[in-house]
Chain A
Amino acid sequence: MTRSVREELLEKLKAADVGLSSADIDSLVDSLTSDVEGDATATNKKLLSEIGSVASYIHDTKRELASLRPDEIKSDYLPTAADELDAIVGATEQATHNILEAMELLEELTEKLPDAEMSEKISEVVTQVYEACSFQDIMGQRVSRVVNALQHVELKVDKLLQAFGNSSNLPATDKQPTPKRADGVNRPDEDLLNGPQLPGQGVSQDDIDALLGFD
């Protein structure tokens, strides 16, 4: 006995895991088959085949997207990138202040020099250092723009996750962690390559010395 169009459609859509609830699939199939009654004729078979292809395409796309691990990008990579950029701005700002402080002291000392020509020359050099230090402001503004771009990417990834679900839908075999390096090359000490730590994280030199028993 030939199965009804409705039964075949239901089976294909459920098998394809298109991300709809059972009730939604029932409702979709009802609307699709409202004009197609009876057994699967040649025309209806063609319709079934097309819908099956679409369902299968959706399923494959979902699987591909999930294997990109958008949840990992959102939870690990984007926050890390933003934190690192903030740390760059903080560190360069501190370094720039240290340079400026040293230059201000030098300028004060220069005023006390008996040699006017020498004093003027040093003052010119100090001015050049002041000018050069303005890089920090420009860099900070550029980094802010990058952080904004990352936040935009994060929003898009969020929407992707909402639309297609996360990698928990993946079969266990596809749940490989993303390599830490973009070029995919893994080193034996990959797990130890954490880079410079953010302020307040990691251990201090004193802690290290204590740990190793050094003075």
Chain B
Amino acid sequence: MSEVDMNMPILIVDDYKTMLRIVRNLLKQLGFNNVDEATDGSSALQKLRGKQYSLVISDWNMEPMSGLQLLKECRADAHLKDLSFIMVTAESKTENVIAAKQAGVNNYIVKPFNAATLKKKLIAVLGNF
């Protein structure tokens, strides 16, 4: 039996609408249907402060607020500090991964990725489903 609430609210953040659509579809295939979208860190933060989400899946390279800044804002916010946060990005230098880890990311997916990787990381963060 699944340990995970498949109806949990998830926020996906990316400045490329194509990626939002792809991640949404992959999540749907995995059974997650309660998905909202944001196209940059600032609008994501607004949504996170207006509704309780269980997971954020965010790109890094966005303007005006990047995914890393969003992560730091979350960790500095008493209400969002424990929120599960997965970074999905093409930034694949060691320094990026270290910076994200230091900022408190729960997992890190390098683009391009496949459905199997997404599922594996979701299980690592949320538990088996």
Contact = CB atoms under 8 A, between A and B. Distances in A.
B115 A134 contact: no
Interface stretch (A13-21, A59-67, A125-133): A125-133
B22 interface: yes
Given A93-B18, A97-B17, A141-B61, A131 B114 contact: yes
B90 A123 contact: no
B22 A134 contact: yes
B27 to A, nearest CB: 11
Interface bracket on B:
10 to 19
Interface residues of A, number: 20
A140 B61 CA distance: 12
Contacts, number: 55
B19 A137 contact: yes
Contacts of A136: 16, 18
Contacts of B114: 131
Interface of B: 14, 16-19, 21-22, 25-26, 29, 61, 90, 111-115
Given A131-B112, A131-B113, 20 more contacts: A93-B17, A93-B18, A96-B18, A97-B17, A97-B21, A100-B18, A100-B25, A107-B25, A107-B29, A127-B29, A127-B115, A130-B22, A130-B25, A131-B22, A131-B115, A133-B22, A134-B112, A134-B113, A136-B16, A141-B61
